[in-house]
Amino acid sequence: MAHWKPRFIANGVAAPDLETIASSLTDWAEWPKAWCAAAEVHEGAGRDALREGRFLSAGAHLAQAAVYHHFAKFVHVQDRDVMRAAHLRAVTCLTDALPHLDPPGERVEIPFEGTHLVGVLRRPPDPAPHPLVILIPGLDSAKEEFRSTEELFLQRGLATLSLDGPGQGEVEYELPIRPDWEVPIAAVIDHLEHVPGLDPSRIGLWGVSLGGYYAPRAAAFEPRVKACIALAGPFDFGECWEQLPDLTRAAFMVRSGAADETEARRRAEDLTLRDAAARISCPLQVVMGKLDRLIPWQHALRLAEAAGGPTDLILLEDGNHGCANVAYKHRYRSADWMARVLGGRLEA
């Protein structure tokens, strides 16, 4: 709770709710139940608002509930039935919220390798066609967590697609983590090229944590990516294995489809930018906190130095993993940087 508190709050958890949840916990096994109990309060308020025709409020309440249900399962892989039940509640709440958000969102299912990748597409009120930013989760995040990040890009005239890819969110039950993220991103862009109102010539990627590996990896091999932001991503995930928390290693083992921790470590070693970084030619922004306990900040420096195109490196002395504790120091800068590269707007 101490480690992730800034992330919870930065991504939509109300501080009083967080205190209530924390005070109710005495054991890790109780984690999902405590979060789901808090989620049910917001979901109930959302359902009441829907019945009463207060749709803007309904969207806010249900999106809030989705975040809480998501955090009920985010690294709780010990009881997978409990994890999946909480996750399905998160998906339902967010899906029901989407038409009532401002701007509204829509669920997108993209055919991929016998199943579907799943995303949430939101468009700004600006005249179409819109530049697009694809938001890529990490090991334990999912599309339900990204509403506050989406809004930063939407305010700047950029459409957003928050994506569940292999090993993530809804897709984790069908497809495991994979190193070659240029493959799913190519399928996503192929699909989006036919979606009205989007400009396929102006597509950017934003990835956080392990998504901070997936995004630059995809940018290295997919020429249709025109800008990339890597937030708190590893240059070589295998090198980080020994210092990862037990819960993180367990989550990776499950979501990579590994039989045991030995195999999980081998699969982690496949997630490296050693042979890919030099191929990145689009503008790249790399963001990292020097207090990161999961990924050493030197990984950001290595990526910035190895990339083949123009690079903007932001190293924050007091930033933790994901720099959620100092979100104001990088989120606006990153949104402005992406808007500038893709041709969004920087004024109201």
Are 84 and 135 in a shared domain?
no
Are 132 and 190 in a shared domain?
yes
Given pLDDT bands bounded at 50, 70 and 90, which one contains residue 75? very high
Beta-strand relationship, 225-231 and 284-289: parallel
What is the overall mean pLDDT for the chain?
97
**Structurally, how many domains does the chain consist of?**
2
For residue 348, being part of any structural domain is answered with no
Kindly give the residue spans of alpha helices, DSSP state H, lying in the chain.
Answer: 5-10, 15-24, 31-51, 55-73, 80-97, 147-154, 182-192, 211-221, 246-255, 261-268, 298-306, 331-342
Given pLDDT bands bounded at 50, 70 and 90, which one contains residue 266? very high
Cα distance between residue 219 and residue 181, in whole Å: 9
Secondary structure of 208-222 in the HEC alphabet?
ECCHHHHHHHHHHHC
Contact 323, 233 (CB under 8 A): no
Domain of residue 226: give its range: 105-342
Cα distance between residue 230 and residue 288, in whole Å: 8
Are 89 and 119 in a shared domain?
no
Are 47 and 166 in a shared domain?
no
Contact 114, 105 (CB under 8 A): no
Are 73 and 145 in a shared domain?
no
- Residues of 119-130 as b/e, b for ≥16 C-beta within 10 angstroms? bbbbbbebeebb
Average pLDDT score over residue span 167-190: 98
Beta-strand relationship, 225-231 and 198-208: parallel
Q: Could you report the per-residue pLDDT of 20-57, keeping only the tens digit for each?
A: 999 999 999 999 999 999 999 999 999 999 999 999 99
Q: How many CB atoms lie within 10 A of CB 186?
A: 18
Task: Give me 118's structure tokens.
Answer: 């799943």
Q: Which of 67, 82, 102 corresponds to the end of one domain? A: 102
Percent of the chain scored above 90 by pLDDT? 99
Cα distance between residue 324 and residue 336, in whole Å: 18
Cα distance between residue 97 and residue 223, in whole Å: 34
Cα distance between residue 288 and residue 323, in whole Å: 7
Are 170 and 259 in a shared domain?
yes
Q: How many CB atoms lie within 10 A of CB 108?
A: 18
CA-CA distances (angstroms) from residue 105 to 86, 122, 146, 326?
22, 4, 12, 28
State residue 96's pLDDT score. 98
Are 31 and 157 in a shared domain?
no
Cα distance between residue 334 and residue 314, in whole Å: 9
Are 5 and 22 in a shared domain?
yes
For residue 138, being part of any structural domain is answered with yes
Q: Could you report the per-residue pLDDT of 117-153, keeping only the tens digit for each?
A: 999 999 999 999 999 999 999 999 999 999 999 999 9
Supply the CATH number for residue 50's domain.
1.20.1440.110
Strand partners, 120: 107, 162
Q: Which of 79, 102, 125 corresponds to the end of one domain? A: 102
Q: Could you report the per-residue pLDDT of 149-171, keeping only the tens digit for each?
A: 999 999 999 999 999 999 999 99
State residue 333's pLDDT score. 98
Quickly list DSSP for 48-92. HHHHTT-HHHHHHHHHHHHHHHHHHHTT--SSHHHHHHHHHHHHH
For residue 199, being part of any structural domain is answered with yes
244: helix, strand or coil: coil
Q: Beginning with the edge strand found earlier in the chain, give each strand of the sheet holding 130-136 in spatial order.
A: 105-112, 115-122, 159-164, 130-136, 198-208, 225-231, 284-289, 311-316
Q: Which of 58, 81, 102 corresponds to the end of one domain? A: 102
For residue 148, being part of any structural domain is answered with yes
Spatial CA neighbour of 148 closest among 43, 14, 12, 16 = 12
pLDDT at 1 over 90: no
| Residue that is written with structure tokens 């042979």 in the block | 275
For residue 285, being part of any structural domain is answered with yes
pLDDT at 275 over 90: yes
pLDDT at 269 over 90: yes
Secondary structure of 282-323 in the HEC alphabet?
CCEEEEEECCCCCCCCHHHHHHHHHCCCCEEEEEECCCCHHH
pLDDT at 217 over 90: yes
Contact 35, 12 (CB under 8 A): no
Supply the CATH number for residue 299's domain.
3.40.50.1820
